[in-house]
A and B are shown apart, each in its own frame.
Chain A
Amino acid sequence: MIWGLVAAFALLAVGLYGLLALRNLIKLTIALQLMMKGGLIAVVLAGDAVGQRGLGESLGVTLIIADTVAAVIGLALAVLVRRRLGSLDIEVVSKLRG
């Protein structure tokens, strides 16, 4: 159980690191997914640990749907960026500042 939690937070850390360090929009979306999957493990484990498996799992299923929506929209925007600006580098979407 405790190792499961460690794994979840490890995924969170990897995801955050990815968001921090990656420059490709698609890769950023993947990093976000990693982080969300960490959350998935955490809720399912927590539900299991307190004897409410159904609760944890239904929360997990909902989470899968939700992060899929985020991934789809993120990827769709990435595709549009690529089409319009010809690049997936984060540099092209860093114009709004100040």
Chain B
Amino acid sequence: MNAALPVGLLTLPLLSSPLAYFVGRFSGRRHGLAQFVALVVLLVAWAMFVAMAGQLAAGETPQFEYGMIAFRLDGLAMYMAALALGLSTLAVFFARQMFQARAGSEKYYAALLALTGAMIGLAGARDLFNLWVWFETMIAASYLLVVIFHDEALNLEAGFKYVVQSAMGSGLVVFGIALILLDTGTLNLDLIAQAAPHSAMAAIGSALCFIGFGVKVAIVPMHTWLPDVYTQSPSVSSAVLAGAVSKAGLVGLLRVTAALSAAIPWADLFMLFGAASILAGNLLAFRQRDVKRLLAYSSMGHLGYVMLGIGFGLHAGQTAGVYGGLFHALNHSVMKGLAFFSIGAALYLLSRPVGREHGLRLDDLAGMARRCPLLALALTLALFSLAGIPPLAGFMSKWQIFAAGLAANSPWVTALVVFAALNSVLSLGYYLPVVNALYREGASEGQTRLPLPRLMAIPLVVLSFLIVLLGLWPDAVRWLVAPASVLGG
């Protein structure tokens, strides 16, 4: 009985993915039915999620085991499930109007559902085998999200880079798993953690996993696919990729980190590569005139803050840093999700056909505030929050990361905090021009006076509200983030 809910949460999105496809393919009613199916599936999944959140709060961990497949929804898994469900639900709301019923968009809902299921599976996996299988499934589903429309050669280019680099990362994870198996004789994460291996072989295996999962997190220098893909994918996909898929990579990495904590200096790696990502993301964003590319680089920087926070936590052996990092990851999903949804809405208002999304220049946003105040407000909120302006969500989580770093009382860590804080100030330099452009006078091209469809407004309103809420009341998600930040427990 206890197993029904976790089994349902895992399999429902996966199994109904083909259903959404066929319904959309054969109903022919502008894919409204496919959207409806996807929405119903996700809402049922939400209901199961809520029921299990209750169980988790009561101290039980929902889990099941079937042969080689073990699945346990602990704190971190629930955290990831919430992100996956949240982003895909909002994306479903957003997608149909955005795609304007183009042929083939029913595939999108199928891919989205499969992706959601895969991310939940990845988060709940209890051994490296399952972890990798779900990771691979997730990557396969995300291919479709990226190249669903390939009207432009540039879409193909981004898609090809994404496929090759993702597959390479996944291959490195396989090598890492093989070495870990060779060293410990098991793939079960709990058993590995008990063995606490620290041989050279386990070290190389862990390092390869760090790189492999790091491709999805887009840690410098494995980030090179990211700006192309975030720019060329439909904005709905960019929102899901930045908001959920990158976090799924992080969750995979954290699983390995917790199990092989003695193998390599995780804390130092997290802090070092986190700081490098912050700097590189900020500098690369600095000169961008293309808004989506700017947001892509800023994603890199923000994942850097997340890594830094987790590194602080691992360094000091306390959960405060991990909490700050995961809280910031959650906030980043909200903020970047909102930013990409807003960009999608802007492209819609400018009548740019989906699939030809690149090259939204800063100047194209001019006059947007007059044209659609809701959109301008939402994007402004997202950008201010990303820049870390109080009292918005992004500020609160950055602050917790910095506070955790300062609590470590070590000169090097303090220097990193100062470095990250300075970068945070620097980031204003590229966020503000976007806001400025929004509120500048000027008629944007594409003068068709389309109103913003209500279904597209829903994600904007929900996420804007969350940004303000989490800024004023950061404890509103403590129930979700706190259990997740107990690594390995």
Contacts and interface: CB of A to CB of B under 8 A. Distances in A.
Query: A and B touching (C-beta < 8 Å)?
Result: yes
Interface of A: 5, 8-9, 12, 15, 19, 25, 28-29, 32, 35-36, 38-40, 42-43, 45-47, 49-52, 55-56, 58-59, 62-63, 66-67, 69-70, 73-74, 77-78, 80-81, 84-85, 92-96, 98
9 shortest A-B CB distances, which residue pairs? A39-B174, A42-B178, A93-B157, A50-B185, A70-B167, A66-B136, A46-B182, A46-B178, A46-B181
B141 to A, nearest CB: 10
A43 B228 contact: no
Interface in B273-296: 287
Nearest to B228: A96
Given A28-B164, A32-B167, A95 B181 contact: no
A84 B156 CA distance: 10
Contacts of B287: 98
B356 interface: no
Nearest to A66: B136
| A interface SS class | helix
B170 interface: yes
A35 B232 contact: no
B158 to A, nearest CB: 6
A32 B156 contact: no
Given A42-B174, A93-B153, A58 B68 contact: yes
B223 to A, nearest CB: 14
B160 A43 contact: no
A67 B163 CA distance: 11
A69 B140 contact: yes
B156 A19 contact: no
Interface in B121-157: 129, 132-133, 136, 139-140, 143, 147, 150, 153-154, 156-157
A43 to B, nearest CB: 5
Contacts of A62: 129, 133, 136
Contacts of B143: 73
Given A77-B163, A93-B160, A49 B182 contact: yes
A45 B227 CA distance: 38
A25 B154 contact: no
B174 A63 contact: yes
B4 interface: no
B174 A45 contact: no
A2 B68 CA distance: 27
A38 to B, nearest CB: 7
B150 A80 contact: yes
Given A66-B140, A73-B163, A81-B156, A39 B171 contact: yes
- B interface SS class: helix
Interface residues of B, number: 40
Contacts of A58: 68, 129
Contact of A43 (B164, B174, B186, B231): B174
Given A55-B129, A66-B140, A67-B167, A81 B175 contact: no
A93 B181 contact: no
B90 interface: no
Given A67-B167, A74-B164, A96-B231, A50 B156 contact: no
A96 B232 contact: yes
Contact of B179 (A46, A51, A52): A46
Given A51-B185, A77-B150, 17 more contacts: A5-B182, A12-B171, A25-B160, A32-B171, A36-B174, A45-B178, A46-B179, A55-B68, A62-B129, A62-B133, A66-B133, A73-B143, A77-B156, A78-B160, A84-B153, A96-B227, A98-B287
Interface in B67-102: 68
Contact of B163 (A12, A35, A70): A70
Contacts of A74: 160, 163-164, 167
Contacts of B133: 62, 66
Contacts of B147: 73, 77
Interface in B157-191: 157-161, 163-164, 166-168, 170-171, 174-175, 177-179, 181-182, 185-187
Given A36-B167, A36-B174, A55 B156 contact: no
Interface in B354-388: none
A36 B182 contact: no
A93 B154 CA distance: 7
Contact of A95 (B132, B154, B175): B154
A29 B161 CA distance: 11
A98 B294 CA distance: 11
A84 to B, nearest CB: 6
Contacts of A56: 181
B422 to A, nearest CB: 24
A25 to B, nearest CB: 7
A98 B174 CA distance: 32
8 contacts: A12-B175, A19-B164, A42-B179, A47-B181, A50-B185, A70-B170, A74-B167, A95-B153
